[in-house]
Every structure is written in structure tokens, then in C-alpha cells.
A and B are shown apart, each in its own frame.
Chain A
Amino acid sequence: MLAEKSKPQPITADDGVNAGSRHPRLSLVPAKLESRQWAHHGFPQVQKVLRERFCHQQLPEEPEGVEAQHKHLLELLKRTAIHGESNSLLIVGPRGAGKTMLLKCVLRDLLQDKEVQKNLLQVHLNGLLQTDDRIALKEITRQLHLENAVGDKVFGSFAENLAFLLEALKKGDRSSSRPVLFVLDEFDLFAHHKNQTLLYNLFDVSQSAQTPIAVVGVTCRLDVLELLEKRVKSRFSHRQIHLLSSLTVTQYLRLVGTQLSLPDEFPDAKFAQEWNSSIETLCADKSVEEVLQRHFNASKDFRSMHMLLMLCLSRVSVAKPVIQPADLQEASRLCLADAKANMLHGLSILELCLIIAMKHLNDVYEGEPFNLQMVHNEFKKFLQRKSNSMYNFNQPVVRKAFEHLQQLELIRPVEGSSAKTQSEYQLMRLMLDHSQIMEALQKYPQCPTDVKQWAMSAFG
């Protein structure tokens, strides 16, 4: 509402839109009054359902837009689980593209089969947790509940462990032993292990007629095959599933709508209906479309969308049980805010003056690094030109301000060795953009005019 008021908009196109967005609000007022009780019952439910979707990455009923990949993966894993075929495969896609979601959906569908459920063993590894082969091996033996694992402790050295595991895997054959599914999350990190022993052994088992295993790697690196050693690469089946988002804007908008709407099995059907219709009108709003278009242009993964919607959802309360276009605009503003500009806003005048001096030094000497002495000298030049200088600080105070800027990492030393040179002669680089400084200056509260003038002037 506020945003609509504050923004003078062209009357012609927006009249209809505003009327459209106002409509649900008007209709909701009596609804809210009439049924206080459902607001109290229904409202926490909405939060619960939607939070599980946005924060907990709850699995959807049907993975959208990846039907082909889903089918492919399901077929492949079924062949391992039922027919005892060994396979290896990589799921590749950018962050937040739904790789884990796809895999989990497939596993859920796969496990509905009674036979598979009885038969299949699963081992989940994550490159972030299992940082070397020893830890990974312990984890595998633990998750497979092998005999030498007593309780949760695993005994034996690395070599013993590996030999044991390999023997256990080799003893099996296609017909008799249970298939094992290895899921390697953050697969690229496994490629950084020493000699890639684990990968070599897993792929080797999958290539030879031993226990049927399926190795599924999940990674966000497109060049992951280049990381593999030759012998490991040759044992890999080179089967890849690419999850590259091919969303269009209209699909994106529709997806936002479905993400926000409540499912059919929501306990309070009446509330769900009203909520869903309010979401529909929200998505039809022109300003909302604009905001979403901007987000779509920045990135089209699920995670950033969820973050945006989560921020929207947090603005919904019992008193205001509907998402309004202004909420979305506010959330988008939060998401797209420039962090460095926010930090510049909180600097003191002295620190701001130092940054302007650095900017001038950068302009004059074309990006050469500078030290505290030069910056202070530049600042003093500014003070000399002004008759009534109230910023006549002495060197230690200036140095304290300079060090604060360094702590905030707005300036960064050129080379690391700080002990060797005196602090005032250490060369620094400014980590800010020209435009960022000027913008921050415009927004700075009660910025003195002469400082502004100084920043505007081309050369010191």
C-alpha cells in the first residue's frame, strides 16, 4: 500500500491493476471479522506448511520440469535394484537447481516397490563431511552395518578397512548379493582426495562382476570429469544428467504461484481456498510481476526464490493474513540491497573523508596502491584549502579510523607480510567501486556540503 502511494504511477495502465489488487483486500476484511476463530486455527497452519516448503526443502509430489531426467534416473536405479546391474552416473547442475530434490524424489518412488525396499542398501556420503578416504570408509562400513562394526565404533586401520570392504563387495555376485546404492553428494570434493582411492575402488567394483552397486554423484561443477584421474575416468560410465534450468518468465511466475499456494489436503478447506485465490490475484498484479521479473533476470534457481518468498511470508501475521504486493516489493528490496553501501552508511565522517581521499588517489594514480601517509596527506590538502577546518584530527586518530576501515575489509593490504613494514607505509588497495562511493555519499545522513563538493571535484 505504501509503495503504491509513494510511487507516482502512470494513471492509464495502473488504474485497472490497482483496482485488481485492492479487490481481495476489500473482500477479505469481512472474512477476517466473520471468522476470527479460523484465523487462529488456519494461520499457524499456513506458516507451518509453507515454512516446511521453503526452509526444510520438503519434497514436492511431482518434480516439475524434470520429468525426463526423473524417468531416466528411476529406470537406471531400478535396473540396479532389481536386476543387479552395476551403474555409475553424475547429476550435474548449478546450485539450487534441484539436484538433491530430484534424487530424493526418485529414491522415494523407488522405495515404494516392496522388493526394492527389502533388497536395496543405501550409503549416503557428503564431500563436506567425509573430507578424506579414511573417514569415508568408516562411514561406509557403519552405514552398511558390517560385522566388524561394533555399536557405532569401527575398528581397524585404513588398509584393513579397505581390504575388508573390498572383500565384502567382491565376494558377492550378481544373483545372490543385495545391491548397494552409493550417493556421493558434493562429488567434486571427493575428487580432491589423495589418489582418488575411494572413487577408483567404487568405480572399479561397478565395472567388474562383483556386488551390484550404483554410484550416483551429485555436483555443481560442470568440469567435474576433468578433475578425475585417467584410470578413474576410464572406469566411469560417462552417464550424466544435466539439470540446467530452462524456465521462461511465465513458467517462473506460475511456479511462484504454485509455491505459495496451499495444497488440497490442507485441513481448513475454506481458508485454503481464500488463501489460494488471494495468491492468484497477487500474481496477477503488475508490480509483483515486475519484481519477479527482476529476480528472474538475476537468477532462476529455487533457492533464491524460496528466500524471497520466505521473506514475504515472514511479513504475514494473524492481523494481516494475506500477502500484499508491497510485501513482495519490500522483500525484494531486502534481497537486492547492496551490502557495502549499507556498511558505508554507518561510517563516521572521518572515515568517509578517508575513503574519498583514497578515491582521489585512485583517480590520480590510476589504481596504484596507497598507504596511510598518502591518504592522510591527501586529506590534509583538503583541509588546507578550507579555512574553517573542524576536522583537524591528528595522526593517531586518523590511523585508528584507517585501521577500522581495514577491519571492515573495505581496504585490503597488497601483500600479507604486515610485520616487516611499518603500518603507515603498508600498501593498500580500495575494495570499493567509484559508483558505490558516490551513491553512498548521496545517501549519507547529514553529509557536510564541503565534503560532498570535495568528492565531486575531479582531482583532489
Chain B
Amino acid sequence: MTTLLQHPGYEEGRLQKVAELLPCREVQAGMLLSLMGEPQQYSYPSIFIYGHRASGKSHVMHVLLKELELPHATVSCVECVSVVLLFEHVLRSFFGSDAASLLPCSPSLSDFVRVYRQQCSQSPAKETRYIVMEKAELLRDTDANVLPALLRLQELVEDNVTVILLSEIVWDKFRPNTGCFEPLVLNFPDYSKGELQQILSRDRHPSYSAEFYSSYINILLGVFYSVCRDLRELRHLAALNFSKFCEPVEEGKVKETDTHKLWRNIEPHLKKAMQTVYLREVSSLQWEQMQQMEEKETGILRGLSAHTHVELPYYSKFLLIAAYLASYNPARTDKRFFLKHHGKIRKTNFLKKNEKTSNHLLGPKPFPLDRLLAIFYSVVDSRVAPTASIFSQISSLVTLQLLAQVSHDDQLDAPKYKCAVSMDFICAISRTVNFDIVKYLYDFL
């Protein structure tokens, strides 16, 4: 295992330590090391590393640079809201804190390069300096010249510096219009199931045996692997549910080796976790509390999405229902649904189902205010005067983002709206006012 990491430029013991810290990433680490070369040699000006989330990109870079004590600056592009922060951070970590103060108050890239060169001439690089940019896809949103300049920074500052970009997105989506210095593109492949198992089994509980924990991981992967391959997410789930898994063992009902009984105990629990804690419906704290309260069945606690229920005034509810009907029904069916004496329409003619895709697939259609009010008066049983409060309720539904105003061309004259609530939500609302909305929906006829 450790034989893969060998490099004449670095001490044996350190490399061994690095190898221990990077399980299942020896190949990539070895490759990076050989590309980086010995510290005093030149390295390629820019390296682009892509791979899925939690495939160890940052971790490998961090461990390599830290353990081998190479001069480096790690910058997260999320934190650097402006490039100024990037400049300051790089200068500070390479040349000490006074270097950053040499920058003028609103520095351009030109100032950065000037200060860098000046500092560099005072303390020339004995070893390759590394700038690691995490989440490099955000660099595309900054000024157009930042990314190309970073890629050829070695040439611009005339120093032994290497820029390493880490991203989830492939390099093809980065390339600027007029091209740039092409970086060396490396891929970090995803962990296979076996590797995930191996890594997850490393953080086992000290009071249980290794086999016990790895059988738990096996069950966990059996449930979650088809949905999620994110190591961090899986590790989080493993940590959350382990106490439930060893409950029967602690109570003495089941022996550690009886995998089948343990599986029967934990599997429905894990399935429930996928609906709740995996989607962050229930926070991990709540989930742990729920596990402690045994008599209480998990999932009784209402998740986040159950809280979307809003208390609305009576007419607002009907307005929302009317808006939903107007959004999801074609206008030509309004007569049939909402007029009392609509005359004879042949059913076959009406049910023209040649439009194959229903509106519940395509999404809501915009409708004018007049249509909304007409449907509203039809579905409300009592007589409602078109007072100011009705109209203000419509606009307050827009501010609540239950309705969306579509065209902004005119505020007063014939505005158009869209209904922006889900089917479940509107069903819940109509149940509170005893209105059977499904009967009025064209799609469900």
C-alpha cells in the first residue's frame, strides 16, 4: 500500500504518514507527487483537478501540502467574494502579513502581480509555491481576466508557482472565448462500493468490534448506495444511525454476530431516514432525540415540508383555489366547469384528450385577472362584493409567493398571474373549506 508513494525529493517517513492519511487515494496522490516533482524543481503552471463531491480532492491536496511542508495558500472561492481577498490571502501566506499591506486600496490584478514580483525578488522561491483554489467553478463568475491570468501566473510573476484548481465541473465548461493556457487536467475517480466500505469502516466505535461495525456499514450501503455516493453524506448517516443499530445488542436481545436480526431491526429505520434526515426534513438533532424516545415512532414528528401549511383568510383560500384552477385548466373548459346552465356539450367533444401531456406535467399557465375573478365568484357560494380587500388579498398572495405575477408590463391594467403552489398544498387548503378541487381539475377527469 505504501509502496506506491515513493519520491526521491521527500523523506520516507513523511510519505508513509501521508499514505496512511489517504486511504484509497494512493494512486492519485502518487501521481500528483510525481507531477509536482521535487520541491526545488519547476512544476506545471496550472493543474486542474475534477471529480465528484467528496472524492478527496481538497483532502489529498491539503494532506500533501501540509505533511510535506510545502509553501502553499489554500483559497476557497466561496469565501473570496472579491478578488481582493484572494490577492491578500495569497500574499499573506507566501510573504508574511506585511506584504498584503503593500496593495493599494482597490487593487487590480496588475497591482497584485507587481507586489508579488517585488516580494518575490526579495525572497525568491527555493521551493515550488502552490496556490490551491477550491470550488474553482466560481472563478468563471468573476472578471473575465482572472481565470486566464491565474492559469498563466507562473509566466506573469516569473516565479516557481503552481496554481491548482479543484472543481466538480469538467474543464470544458471553463474555457474562455479566446482560449487560455491549458492546464493539466486530472481526474479523481469516484470511490467504488468496496472503497466506500473500507473508508467508512475506519471510523468505528471503540467499544465494538471491527466486524460488527463493518457489517453495519454494509447494511447502510445496501440501503443508500443506489441514491447517494457522497462519502460525507454517508458518513453523516452512519454516525447518526449507529446507536439505533446497536440498541438490541446493548439490551442483550441479539448477539453481535447475528447479522440477520440486526438487519431486520435497522432496515425500516434506515428507509425512514432516507425520507427524513437525508432530505434534511428533520434535523439530525431532532433525529437523535427521536431515537431516544423509544415509544414514539420515528417520523411522527412533522418534517419541514409539513410546516408549509399556511393559515389564510377565508376568501384568500378561495382566491388561491381559483388561481390554481385557472392555472391548470384550459380556458375552453371553464364554461363546462363553472357555469350552472352551460347547455349541452357532448362529452366526447369536451374530453379531447389528444393533448397528451397534462398541465400537471408542463406546469402552471398564466391567466388574466378577469378569469381569476370569474372563477372565484363561481366557486364561492355566497355573494362577495369586489371590495378593496379582495384585490389587496390578491396582491398579498403575490407577496407571499403563492401567486406569481408574470408580465411586469402593467401593474393595474390586466395583470397576469401564475399559481405557484403544489397539488398537495392546494388539496389541503380546499379540504379546510370543504371544496372538492379534484372534481374541477381537467387533468383528473
Interface residues of A (CB under 8 A from B): 40, 43-44, 47-48, 51-52, 54-57, 95-96, 100, 126-131, 135, 138-139, 142, 152, 188-189, 220-221, 303-304, 307, 310-311, 314-315, 317-319, 334, 337, 339-340, 342-343, 345-350, 371, 373-374, 377, 390-391, 393-394, 396-397, 400-401, 407-409, 420-422, 424-425, 445-446
Contacts and interface: CB of A to CB of B under 8 A. Distances in A.
Contact of B179 (A130, A139, A220): A220
B405 to A, nearest CB: 9
Given A95-B179, A310-B184, A400-B279, A56 B154 contact: yes
Interface string B15-38: 000000000000000010011011
Contacts of B268: none
A349 B229 CA distance: 10
Contacts of A55: 42-45, 154
A151 to B, nearest CB: 11
A226 B298 CA distance: 69
A307 B182 contact: yes
16 contacts: A47-B41, A127-B145, A128-B152, A129-B156, A131-B109, A142-B114, A304-B182, A314-B35, A317-B7, A339-B187, A345-B189, A345-B190, A346-B51, A374-B357, A408-B52, A425-B363
A393 B110 CA distance: 53
A311 B47 CA distance: 12
Interface string B317-361: 000000000000000000000000000000000000000010011
A411 to B, nearest CB: 13
B114 A152 contact: yes
B199 interface: no
B265 to A, nearest CB: 20
A72 B4 CA distance: 52
A397 B274 contact: yes
Nearest to A219: B178
Interface in B377-432: 404, 406, 418, 420, 422
A373 B357 CA distance: 11
Contact of A348 (B41, B50, B160, B229): B229
Contact of B169 (A43, A401, A408, A425): A408
A319 to B, nearest CB: 8
A143 to B, nearest CB: 10
B203 interface: no
A342 B187 CA distance: 8
Given A129-B113, A394-B275, A314 B41 contact: no
A2 to B, nearest CB: 15
B184 A311 contact: yes
B279 A314 contact: no
Nearest to B102: A152
Nearest to B173: A409
Nearest to A377: B361
Given A342-B50, A420-B406, 18 more contacts: A51-B37, A95-B182, A129-B110, A129-B145, A318-B8, A342-B187, A342-B189, A346-B189, A349-B226, A349-B227, A373-B361, A396-B281, A409-B173, A420-B404, A421-B404, A424-B422, A425-B364, A446-B193
B14 to A, nearest CB: 17
Contact of A51 (B41, B152, B418): B41
B10 interface: no
Contact of A43 (B8, B42, B110): B8
Interface residues of B, number: 74
B172 interface: yes
B113 to A, nearest CB: 6
B257 interface: no
A409 B52 CA distance: 12
Contact of B108 (A131, A152, A348, A371): A131
Given A51-B41, A131-B143, A317-B6, A346 B52 contact: yes
Contacts of A95: 179-182
B4 to A, nearest CB: 11
B55 interface: yes
A346 B55 contact: yes
B63 to A, nearest CB: 19
6 nearest A-B pairs in the assembled complex, by CB-CB distance: A425-B363, A346-B190, A339-B170, A314-B34, A129-B110, A349-B226
B185 interface: yes
Interface in B202-227: 225-227
B278 A397 contact: yes
B168 interface: yes
Nearest to B224: A348
Interface string B262-282: 000000000000110011010
B81 interface: no
B363 to A, nearest CB: 3
A412 to B, nearest CB: 10
B305 interface: yes
Given A51-B42, A408-B168, A135 B108 contact: yes
Given A129-B156, A349-B226, A310 B363 contact: no
B125 interface: no
Contacts of B38: 44, 47
A334 B48 CA distance: 13
Contacts of B145: 127-129, 131, 189
Contacts of A424: 363, 422
A440 to B, nearest CB: 12
A421 B405 CA distance: 10
A129 B193 CA distance: 47
Nearest to B33: A314
Given A339-B170, A350-B227, A52 B42 contact: yes
Quick one: which of A52, A56, A189 has the most chain B CB within 10 A? A56
Nearest to B112: A129
Nearest to B185: A339
A127 B148 CA distance: 11
A387 B43 CA distance: 57
A62 to B, nearest CB: 21
B148 to A, nearest CB: 6
B287 interface: no
Interface string B140-157: 000101001100101110
A356 B182 CA distance: 32
